[in-house]
Amino acid sequence: MRIIGQHADLRAARRDWHEEGRSVGLVPTMGALHEGHLALVRRARAACGRVAVSLFVNPTQFGPNEDLARYPRSPEEDMRLLGAEGVDLLYMPADGDMYEKDASTTVHVGGITDHLCGPFRPGHFDGVATVVAKLLLRVMPDAACFGEKDWQQLQVIRRLARDLDIPARIIGVPVVREADGLALSSRNRYLPQEERAKAVLISQNLKHAAESIRAAPGNIGRVLAGGRENLEKAGFRVDYFECADAESCAPARDLARPARLFAAARLGSTRLIDNWPV
């Protein structure tokens, strides 16, 4: 596995692969890798001849009161895991390699970002969209893989690639879960044992609510209120427990179009998100 810190070298590697006629798959990550990330790597490997992974804890997608400083970092272990997966190239931008000091361009995807996490994390999706656009332009992959764990983010990225004519195929990869149903997340490492035991209530309530809505689609509002209340009673601070259009992420109160359930809730100082098909 080649490890690259400068984007000029990344471009050169990309050009060599292109000349060899290899297709390229990209997997953007913030590191602290787990089986969810590795599922993306395997999907990229299945779709493309060469796999590049980026590892960058992107400061612009964290708010001033968020967890940038304590975001988990385990680069040695990440390199070991990616090497074992047969990843061809790991791009870990050196200091200063990602953003120009006086960078003044931001990618804003409207509409989708008005909902769900958008209002709770001002600026977050602009940070994500800008860094992902830069990574897609630096690597020019044939395909790029993103997890359905961050469903709204996946819709934002599909939209930005479409609207900016970025010719990569955006592949969504199903959520990888622990045996009890908790969605794998780098942030799960923050959870003390007692909170880890409670965290499973998010996926359990989403699953239960999805079943209730399927059985009685006229009761969506009541089911959502029930899901929120269950989490609050267990000690979560709930940002949202919502049924939303699977593409626009706008609230949905019927099943006229494909919809999903989404939850974001805080346990102690950790914010967890998950989603479930209806």
Q: Out of 26, 29, 220, 263, name the contact with ligand AMP by CB under 6 A.
A: 29
Interactions with ligand AMP, residue window 44-103 (CB under 6 A): none
Q: Out of 24, 40, 79, 129, name the contact with ligand AMP by CB under 6 A.
A: 40
Nearer of residues 18 and 60 to ligand AMP, judged by Cβ: 60
Binding part of the chain for ligand AMP, among 159-167, 170-178, 208-216, 244-252 by CB under 6 A, reads: 170-178
Interactions with ligand AMP, residue window 185-214 (CB under 6 A): 185-186
Binding part of the chain for ligand AMP, among 15-23, 34-42, 83-91, 257-265 by CB under 6 A, reads: 34-42
Could you tell me the CA-to-CA distances from 194 to 50, 190, 197, 268 in Å, in that order? Answer: 42, 11, 5, 11
> Which residue sits closest to ligand AMP, CB atoms considered?
147
Q: How far apart are CA 189 and CA 86, in angstroms?
A: 25
Nearer of residues 183 and 223 to ligand AMP, judged by Cβ: 183
Nearer of residues 186 and 205 to ligand AMP, judged by Cβ: 186
- Exposed/middle/buried for residue 4 (C-beta within 10 Å: 0-12, 13-18, 19+): buried
Nearer of residues 121 and 224 to ligand AMP, judged by Cβ: 121
Q: Is 34 a catalytic residue?
A: no
Rounded least distance, CB 174 to ligand AMP, Å: 7
Q: Are strands 2-4 and 89-91 parallel, antiparallel or unpaired?
A: parallel
Q: Which residues are catalytic?
A: 37
